[in-house]
Structure 1
Amino acid sequence: MINIRTVGDMAATIARNLHRIDRSAFDVVVGLPRSGMLPASIIATHLQMPLADPAGYAAGIVHGRSGAPVARGDRVLLVDDSCNKGRAFARAVQLLPRGTKVIRLAIFGPYQVDPATVCDIWFEQVGGPRVFAWNWTKHIRLPRWGFDFDGVLCRDNLKVENDDGPRYLDFLANAEPLFLPTRAIGHIVTGRLERYRPQTEAWLRRHGVQYESLTMMPYATKAERMAAGNRGGWKAEQARRLGVEMFIESSAKQGAAIAREAGIPVFCTDTQEAIRCLA
């Protein structure tokens, strides 16, 4: 089973473990760009400590309260969101001035090696395969997942645009992107009608989205689709047919149906929450 951690999960994990950080042992919190800056900022704010990134710290650019510059000191709490084999920590340490005292903290520690060999403090070990919600668009397992379209790859249409006519056609052609994957993905399962396949495929080409399949609803009109209802159940059926191991969905209601009926975890982009199946 895939283990999902959201930004909310990360914030809660930090809050539960703040007591494990000896705040007298360092002068500044240094986050590893990019993902490590999220927990580093949360920790520095909770502890009211200065914040920097590795290159900035080396250059003496350290941010105190309201961003005011402060002295950097020589004791660093080096923070990353997760750790696997310690390579990111090692690269960051090389950027720091010689003689800097470093404590390495990973919010989510490694599961393939002994955590103590690559970091000094870790708050939680999350086994693999694992998905961090702030980084899902580059995950190596994207080809194994299912994806909603509107509210995931592009924004949802507005009520005024949902006329099944010219305004909707304009939306299909010009919808702004939301979460664009950085590698090929698996199966798109969308509530859009099959008759809008040409416009949908054109948008995907224009935004460089590579995918294995595109499943659209078979109804002739919006009215027929609305009368049929149960889009979450239909998506769950398609997810089972396609054999996806996880689904990215914009609607929390539909996501709950997919998780329940397909027996797979769902990440909801609208609420930024993981919906975990009970199976």
Structure 2
Amino acid sequence: MKYKSYSDLSRDISDNIYKINTQNFDLIVGIPRSGMVPSYMVSLLLNVNCIDLPAFIRNEKLCKGITRDVGTDIVNSHDAKNILLIDDSILSGNSMLNSLKQIPTKFQGLITTAAVYSSHKNHENVDIVLTEVEPPRVFEWNIYHHPVVSNSCFDIDGVLCYDPSNEENDDGDKYVQFLCNAKPRFIPTEKIDYLVTNRLEKYRTQTEVWLSKNGVKFNKLIMLDLPGKADRLAQSDYYSHKANFYKNSDSSLFVESDINQAIEIANRSNKFVFCVDENIMISPGGLSRFKNKSYLFSKVRYKLSKIQVLRTLYNSFKF
């Protein structure tokens, strides 16, 4: 399963901007909602105006900030002579064709269509493809609302809600209060096939009440059938509950928050696991739990490098 994050999206646009920047577009039109993020990325790189498709259809006045002049005399969107209509991805092409049909015939400018990600290197329903990503694929901006959710296993703590604090995780009254009032984190709009959690079976009622209160739709809740927290922590194989269920299910994705659990589940099930905390898709055999320190250090180095870049930019422009 292919996965693209916002960071990937930015990099893929930058790496392929040469396919766009020589065509003298004077307006970028984004297809809501997923097409708006790449449309603004492209418009900022090209330093041209950007507008969403419904506003373009209404011929609305273009807006921009005061810090940068785009160097054009376009006032309303239909004043543009050469527009780029862009979406984040294209599969069948129906969305792009439908968008083109909505553009009024009174607009006399040139229209070029583009998609950042396409199922084919050359797609018959789009003029420009930035990069090919074959299905099955999911993106950071739609993973919790993608049809794959209905064929997935989801953990609860750290995914649907935030993890309990050490104080709350007492297997007593404080933990019950946490179960009833946990803060939601990511709530999918699609119906989850299986919720697979290391929460104990004795807390099923509180868990189901919270799921209902927060609008989580699911088919089945799989919990750990042990007497208490001490028994859970004393397990010789902490990963077997989630990994074995996923392996024996028909599900094609497991969504887990903890990086070490995600790696172990992927390797044992021989299936893909999305790690929420690290924002990566883990392929089976791709990482080792016991060698993960180097990976985490590389993440730290990457974040530090970003901070250094931001500091340099700030020092360059603050005066």
Alignment of 1:78-117 (within 5 A): 78-93=85-100, 94-95=102-103, 98-111=107-120, 115-117=122-124
Greater RCO (Cα-Cα under 8 Å, separation 6 or more):
1
In the comparison of the two structures, how many residue pairs are matched?
276
Correspondence 1:270 to 2:277? yes
Shift of 1:108: 0.7
* Structure 1, 129-138 or 183-192: larger mean CA deviation: 129-138
Aligned counterpart, 1:202: 209
Correspondence 1:25 to 2:34? no
Q: TM-score, normalised by structure 2?
A: 0.78
User: What is the alpha-carbon distance in structure 1 between the residues aligned to residue 161 and residue 236 of structure 2?
Assistant: 22
Aligned counterpart, 1:42: 41
* Structure 1, 222-231 or 19-28: larger mean CA deviation: 222-231
User: What is the alpha-carbon distance in structure 2 between the residues aligned to residue 15 and residue 234 of structure 1?
Assistant: 42
1:30–1:52 CA contact under 8 A, matched in 2: yes
- The alpha-carbon distance between structure 1 residues 121 and 194, as it changes in their structure 2 partners (threshold 3 A), is same
Q: TM-score, normalised by structure 1?
A: 0.88
Q: Residue deviations 1:240-260, cap 9 Å, x none? A: 122321111111221111111
User: What is the alpha-carbon distance in structure 1 between the residues aligned to residue 237 and residue 187 of structure 2?
Assistant: 27
Shift of 1:116: 3.5
SS class of match (1:161) = coil
Q: Residue deviations 1:94-147, cap 9 Å, x none? A: 246611322211011134xx8442111112222222222321222223232111
* Structure 1 gap ranges (5+): none
SS class of match (2:141) = helix
- The alpha-carbon distance between structure 1 residues 110 and 99, as it changes in their structure 2 partners (threshold 3 A), is farther
Shift of 1:81: 0.8
Runs of at least 4 residues of structure 1 off by over 6 A?
A: 67-70
User: What is the alpha-carbon distance in structure 2 between the residues aligned to residue 168 and residue 54 of structure 1?
Assistant: 48
Alignment of 1:234-273 (within 5 A): 234-273=241-280
Aligned counterpart, 1:144: 151
2:119–2:135 CA contact under 8 A, matched in 1: no
SS class of match (1:14) = helix
User: What is the alpha-carbon distance in structure 2 between the residues aligned to residue 65 and residue 13 of structure 1?
Assistant: 28
Correspondence 1:61 to 2:70? no
Which of the residues 82, 99, 105 maps onto 1:75? 82
Q: State the identity as a percent.
A: 33
Root-mean-square deviation (CA, aligned residues, Å) is 2.5
Shift of 1:228: 2.1
Alignment of 1:174-189 (within 5 A): 174-189=181-196
SS class of match (2:99) = helix
Aligned counterpart, 2:230: 223
Shift of 1:25: 2.0
Give the AA of the match of 1:30. Answer: V
Shift of 1:204: 1.6
